[in-house]
Amino acid sequence: MTQHTYDNESVQELIGWAKKMLETKNYPTEKYQINKCTSIINGKLYLESLIAMISRNWENPTFHSTIEQLWEYREKWESREG
């Protein structure tokens, strides 16, 4: 698994990526399995909620796991496309 940083630039880039997915409607429209423990049933709502949580709390280490969720989702989604 890739080691990520939680600095402002990295987190803002990740949030920007998620916002672009919402703008272009490039997210799963059906159930999407991220890993054996995480299934997304509403791609739009999933992205909106992660963007909101991360945007407000990215500096709090308690939310680093939420940032990791979005990175994991991004890595899986981009590997599907490529």
**Tens of pLDDT, residues 5-60:** 899 999 999 999 999 999 999 999 999 999 999 999 999 999 999 999 999 999 99
CA dihedral 13, 4, 39, 80 (to 10 degrees): 70
pLDDT at residue 45, as a whole number: 97
pLDDT at residue 80, as a whole number: 82
Element (H, E) at 39: strand 38-40
pTM of the predicted model as reported, rounded to 2 decimal places: 0.90
Q: Which two tokens stand for residue 56?
A: 């407000």
Going by pLDDT thresholds of 50, 70 and 90, the confidence category of residue 3 is confident
- Is the predicted pLDDT of residue 1 greater than 60, yes or no? no
Note whether 48 and 60 are within 8 A (CB).
Answer: no
